[in-house]
Chains A and B, each alone.
Chain A
Amino acid sequence: MKSYSIIGENIPRNDGQAKATGSAVYADDIKLQGMLHGALLRSPLPHARIARIDVRKAAALTGVKCVITGEDTPKIRYGNWRLFPATQDEYPLAVDKVRFIGDEVAAVAAVDKDIAREALELIEVEYEELPAVFDVKASIRKGAPVLHEETPSNISVDRKIQYGDINKGFAEADYVREDTFTVHAQSHAYLEPCSCVAQADLDGRITIWTSTQTPYIVQCLLASTLGLRENDIRVIVPYVGGGFGGKMELRPWEFCSAFMARMTGRPVKFTLTREEELATGRRRHPMILKSKVGFKKDGTLTAKDLKITLDGGAYNAMGPTATFLCGNFGAMLYRYPNYRFMGQHVYTNKPPASAMRGFGAPQSLFAAESQMNMAAEELGVDPIELRIKNAQVTGDTIPDVAVISSCGFIESLKEAAKMSSWKRKRKNMKPGRGVGVGCYSFISGGVFNWFNTQYPFSAAEVRAFDDGTVHLLTMATDIGQGSNTAMKQILAAELGLRMEDIRVTSADTAMTPQADLGSWGSRVTLMNGNAVIDAAGKIKKELFGAVSARKNLNVIYELECKDGVVCPKGRPDRGVPFGEAVAMVQKANRGEPLVARGSYTPRDKGLVTPAFSFGAQVAEVDVDMETGLVKVEKMWTAHDCGTVINHMAVEGQLEGSIHMGLGYALTEQFVMKDGKTLNTTFLDYKMPNAMDMPPGESVCIETYEEEGPLGAKEAGEGLVSPTAPAIADAVFHATGYRCVDLPITPEKILGHLKK
């Protein structure tokens, strides 16, 4: 194991000061000369044919510069799953049909926001309402309304994973249980609503500043929907106020701002309101999960049969990935010798669900972890003991899918039990008080190339200067998770530099090296970290050669970059300062600057991910037995994210995850009636706030992931999964109420207590 002074430290984030003082520039802060303001007309109906649209009155309003409908656009469908064009089921603006309340029908650009919104009211749309369907069971019934003509079954994705022989597995079981779980939608609730500004140059090329997690995906899909070439589009990502999976696709406002910027010759900005975000925005997939598991008498797992139906809403969005991943996560954590998963992604006339932190894992693991707790209860064994007995370990394989190259799961379970005084608390608790456990495993980026990128998955360019500084360029996108800081740390460690010696330019598709698939799936630290190391390695090779020649070093010496010096290992006295070494290389190359590119693409790493993280969490709750209100008293977390790059950043991810898991478990839900979202403000969409956060303790289990940069794995998403099952288990321990349908509401608890 290597050790670097800058790795694993509490390094304050690059962007902290700018954000705390308000000087950080987000998309909505950008003001360009002559800029117009856009607004979107959305469907008021869940399912309808568009008979007629008349925009004349809106276009005639003083101050309105442009009004467009689907008919004005090239009508090119898009979607993130480019590898399978049949899954690309969205138009930037509705063509012929609307499929959910909020579907984008027309767009206006005007000299100010008020006029743009006023113009929306002047657009006349005649709809022929169609029967709509709001739940998956009704949607797959024969004769149900069809959302997309190409998909008469309303089942847009069918996925099967199978290994071993489940019939044999269940035959060998002494104890089999089958449970059905339902989980609900949740809002990403990023604090910065979606926003973008597009500008067209004299040749019609587009520059768009947009709040996105995936500049490269936006670049490619914007090009294809506009009928332009990829290089005609430049995507720049300013500061981003969170994404959580909700900003990883091309979205209608990005298309409309670019399209209308070309039409008007003026920059066009769109910024969504919170009401639009909550009423029509992407959300976590609701799912119905039927899970059957078999155990031997001694608690050893023999088989699992998992069927999941995903409520996808009106379009695929990132649903295909969620369908793949919830099946993969169903096979994680424990050794299921025989496993079968069948998943169906179903259309309904609701706002589309899509990627959201955890990407299928929070749903799948709520079911798996709750079922594990239910089985432990019936088998009369401690739920942590039952987990240790079946836990995956380093070297385990999931047939045809992945090899687990590092795994600190058992250590996490033991540590979480120890920290929380699990044994004592599980035995001696007064009524209304309880502890519960939940666990997770997650991916460090995806392997499957659904976007069909023709470039490496991640790339980095390092430019070295004779003043002892370097410039890192990468398309990896810092959306608040801190990737710019982490990448700087990795580069600083590799080149023996300080944080202040490194300039970072990130997420500008015209300036940073091709390409990067974006910030999602917890992929950035591992994938872009490896690309940075690759580039740094090439820089070092040049520096080592030059220093070796200048110092006339014996060929057997190994060189290193350390503390600002390039030197034989352990002999800084015989070294050359970094800047001088750069100057030597530059001289030798007759003035050519020292630049290197690095990249990473996972190869020979199965179908899912190059590396898995693991962890265990214990929740303690206090339930008011009269009101049914649950107060989470404390959370204990032990997790394995490989080498910790930035301790503070990992803690931040953990706290953010607990916050999101807390809302998922207890208070957050969309109140919907006939396809309409009723709670469209934070007053009634009950996301917990800072005062609701329980105190916590955490431990990072040290493992070294060979595939990860300096041994690191993901720490951003997996942690969101264990919280809901841990709280649900604690509520069961406290009250006897076992939640199988999230969220856990006071009314459900009181309903149980009444019995």
Chain B
Amino acid sequence: MSRAKFEYYAPGTVEEASRLLLDAGKGAFLLAGGTDLLVKINHEMIHPKAVVSLNAIKELDFIKFERNKGLTIGAGARLADVEIHPDIRRRYPAVAYAASVTANTQIRNMGTVSGNLCNAAPSAENAPTLIAMNAEVALYGKDGERRLPLEEFFKGPGLTALEPGEILTSVFVPLPPAGSGVSYQHISARGKVDISAVCVGAMVSLDKSGCEDVRIALGAVAPVPMRALKAERVLKGKKPAEDLVEKAAEQAMKEARPISDMRASAAYRKTMVRVLTRRALTEALKPARKKIG
């Protein structure tokens, strides 16, 4: 398939990985599951000079849930691990669900949530839910670690906020608020195993007076996974009646900036943003209402 010839490194620590990445300069790529990287190499979309594997770094391979803090997913955690992790399934079901509908079994056994984010496809399956849930990413570089809200991480198709030598080491998802619900909705032409033509993640937090907070993230309808801020404002501070949910969905549709490509037309994508936003909000409201009583 490929005539790629490159240096391969498998360092044991993040520090070493970062240094190798920096030293190799442009043309160096990180390998976690390889499910995006190897496809790009084989299709000659990239010609790496060096590949730095994260797979020998034990400290990255973890999923940690802390009751008072939240969830941290290490860069080495496979999608399949996230999909079945008991704490994630109980407390972050939408995160587990998004992981479970990413690609197919074989890819989930290799691919990672962090890799899915770093690949920075506008359609990244795991981005909308995590953005809706206020996730942060930890980035390790030559000046140490910095943290960034996930929604600021994406800079364009395939582009991220990562500086040269920087490595995304973990994703942190705070505890969802008490009266909240989260939902991930996605569609594609082929039913079960496919890349999403449109995807939406939404978190709604209720208190006695109404929507205390609403976060809506749209995937595959802009150069990066995007927040639908105006749509959120339609609901914020108000009772989430059905017509208001519809209004928010319509607003999200207006905010989306999709393109036409071979997966779907821009017009169809826009319509789907409305449908999926409404569905995501409606689904998220169900557990939220249950919790608030």
Contacts and interface: CB of A to CB of B under 8 A. Distances in A.
A118 B5 CA distance: 13
Contact of B272 (A115, A627, A687): A627
A684 B187 contact: no
Nearest to A685: B262
Given A626-B275, A684-B262, A667 B3 contact: no
A389 interface: no
A275 B44 CA distance: 12
B160 interface: no
A117 B191 CA distance: 36
Given A118-B3, A627-B272, A667 B262 contact: no
Given A114-B3, A684-B263, A629 B187 contact: yes
B272 A689 contact: no
Contacts of B3: 113-115, 117-118
Interface in A739-755: 745-747, 750
Interface in B152-195: 187, 189-195
Interface in B71-106: 104
A115 B265 CA distance: 40
B6 interface: no
B130 to A, nearest CB: 23
Contacts of B263: 684
B8 interface: no
B191 A683 contact: no
B119 to A, nearest CB: 13
A627 B194 contact: no
B53 interface: no
Interface residues of A, number: 28
B134 interface: no
Contacts of A631: 191
Contacts of A750: 268, 271
Nearest to A628: B268
Interface in A718-755: 745-747, 750
B190 A747 contact: no
B191 A692 contact: yes
A118 B47 CA distance: 14
B190 A686 contact: yes
A687 B2 CA distance: 25
Contacts of A113: 3
A187 B1 CA distance: 22
Contact of B189 (A115, A626, A686, A689): A686
A490 B265 CA distance: 53
Contacts of B190: 667, 686-689, 692
Interface string A194-234: 00000000000000000000000000000000000000000
A679 interface: yes
Contacts of B275: 626-627
Nearest to B105: A691
A171 interface: no
Contacts of B1: 273
A686 B265 CA distance: 16
B60 to A, nearest CB: 28
A117 B44 CA distance: 12
Interface string B1-29: 11100000000000000000000000000
A507 to B, nearest CB: 28
Interface string A559-599: 00000000000000000000000000000000000000000
B262 A678 contact: yes
Contacts of A607: none
Contacts of A263: none
A671 interface: yes
B190 to A, nearest CB: 5
Interface string A664-704: 00010001000000110101101111011000000000000
Interface of B: 1-3, 43, 104, 187, 189-195, 262-265, 267-268, 271-272, 275
21 contacts: A113-B3, A114-B2, A115-B3, A273-B1, A275-B43, A626-B275, A627-B272, A667-B190, A681-B43, A683-B194, A683-B195, A686-B190, A687-B190, A688-B191, A689-B190, A689-B193, A692-B191, A692-B193, A745-B189, A746-B268, A747-B267
Given A114-B3, A631-B191, A678-B262, 6 more contacts: A117-B3, A629-B187, A688-B191, A689-B190, A745-B189, A747-B265
* Closest A-B pairs by Cβ, 8 of them: A114-B3, A691-B192, A671-B262, A626-B275, A686-B190, A692-B191, A747-B268, A686-B189
